[in-house]
Amino acid sequence: MSMSPASRGWTTIEIPTKTTTAYVQGGFVYNDGTDNVPVTTGTQGNIIGIMKEDKDVATTGTASMSVLIPTSIACTFKSLVTGTLTKAMEGDQFDFASDVAIAQGTSTYDAVTLVKFIDATHGVFKLNYTFGVEN
């Protein structure tokens, strides 16, 4: 399971992509100051949204691609989690492990908050106010 909206309030926009960069459907992207690229463990700010399609690394050019963006800070999304979630962790903040997973054991940037526990490896999250929505 990759990232997917869990609430209403997401809308689709077109964004430019970086040449020779792979994009995964269901992966979060952020703006690195030059273009839009997949989220990594060290890049947890300027979050834009969830890619709606794949782009292979061998694809050249900076063609626009569709991305789902939250229209408010209340928008939630489902995600795979590295580590083990428990119901008691609802309300806790975590980081992205990659563009397609949340790191249960990491909270350096506190990019997301667990809103609802689904099971040990899946949860419903929201972007934290200082990440993504206002940027």
- Number of compact structural domains in the chain: 2
Strand 64-70 versus strand 36-38 pairing type: unpaired
Structural domain for 98, as ranges: 76-127
Q: What is the spatial distance between Cα 63 and Cα 14, in angstroms, rounded to a whole number?
A: 9
What pLDDT is stored for residue 1 in this prediction?
56
Q: What is the spatial distance between Cα 54 and Cα 123, in angstroms, rounded to a whole number?
A: 23
Residues 45 and 86 in one domain: no
In a domain, 49, yes or no: yes
Domain final residue, candidates 54, 70, 86: 70
In a domain, 113, yes or no: yes
Digit-coded pLDDT (tens) for 61-102:
667 899 999 999 899 999 999 999 999 999 999 999 999 999
- pTM metric for this prediction: 0.89
Q: What is the spatial distance between Cα 22 and Cα 38, in angstroms, rounded to a whole number?
A: 8
In a domain, 132, yes or no: no
What would you report as the CA-atom Rg of the chain, rounded to the nearest whole angstrom? 14
In a domain, 1, yes or no: no
In a domain, 82, yes or no: yes
In a domain, 46, yes or no: yes
In a domain, 105, yes or no: yes
Residues 17 and 48 in one domain: yes
